[in-house]
Amino acid sequence: MPTIAVVGEVVADAVLPPDGIVDGAAHLTVHPGGGPANTAVALSRLGTTARFAGRLSGGALGALCRAKLEASLVDLSASENATEPATLAIARLDATGAATYEFYTDGTADWAWTDASLAPLIDGPFPAYSPPVAIHTGTLALALQPSGQVIESLLARARPAMTVSIDPNLRTLLVPVASYRLWIDRWAGLADIVRLSEDDLDQLWPGWTPEQAAIHLHACGVPLAVVSLGGAGAFASLRGEQVRVPIAPTTLVDTVGAGDSFHGGLLHYLAEAGYLGGRLETLTIDGLVAALTFASRVSAITCSRAGANPPWATELTG
């Protein structure tokens, strides 16, 4: 399988169920998470070589996150050991299993990248495999500073040889939506694939349809715009050719990591089919529909169990 590089945060997700506060105490279950880390796990479990650049804390929560990445066979050779504590998120579930988040990021490990420390992600050495065909990032790593500017510079340098994928995954409790609106066109100018959630779309451009968002992103230079629509499936536009796919059947436990798993499934399918490595010149609408359908199955399995727990390739056979 080709290699996909991923850069971004590793977060400990403390999940609080609807009935999780009892007798004055919160009963939390902590799962390894973070949007980019979740995507790397999904890619690796599906069979892609996922080369992940994260800053991994040596504390208890950092060790939990590292263990999941290693058990999922993610390549951590471009990651760094960090002395700072791990970033913490609290994912509060409602009665339907949908999650809302609050984040604790001050002084944590994920935001101290430099140009030199990120260079090995795309420059190698690459033990036993070839250079990446694509690079993926997003969520807080791209929006918080100083990491955001460093990662943008990395994307610009990687772009001549790699497909660039971005999942903005807006976190407006930490970053004002006005900042996202200021940055999104610049990010789109670096990207070949941009995926928005339905919530992202509503916050970025209130009242816009997925079709309107796609027209805007195409005008910024994005060949493939995708909008995940929850229970309504997914919309995508490839240079103006638009498609929709339904959600795959599932029994919902929670939505933690669902979008990250969808994005990992999409990238894995595109890589396996040979579409990555440039500006998606050979991707057809039929190929896109097949990729979106596969990604929906990956996301559905993740939604059927607690936390960001993407499936292994063997769970999608048959």
Provide the CATH number for the domain around residue 256: 3.40.1190.20
The reply to whether 114 falls in a domain is no
The reply to whether 34 falls in a domain is yes
Does this model's pTM top 0.75? My answer is: yes
The reply to whether 25 falls in a domain is yes
Q: Name the token pair of 176.
A: 């004002």
Count CA atoms closer than 13 A to 271's CA, side-chain side. Answer: 29
More confident residue, 15 or 121: 121
Domain extent, residue 41, equals 3-106+126-316
Asked whether the beta carbons of 63 and 86 are under 8 A apart, the reply is no
Asked whether the beta carbons of 92 and 28 are under 8 A apart, the reply is no
The reply to whether 117 falls in a domain is no
The reply to whether 113 falls in a domain is no
The reply to whether 76 falls in a domain is yes
Asked whether the beta carbons of 192 and 279 are under 8 A apart, the reply is yes
- Give pLDDT, residue 272: 97
- Give pLDDT, residue 126: 86
Confidence of residue 44 (pLDDT cuts 50, 70, 90): very high
∠ CA 276-281-285 to the nearest 5 degrees? 90
The reply to whether 18 falls in a domain is yes
Q: How many domains does the chain have?
A: 1
The reply to whether 118 falls in a domain is no
- Give pLDDT, residue 156: 98
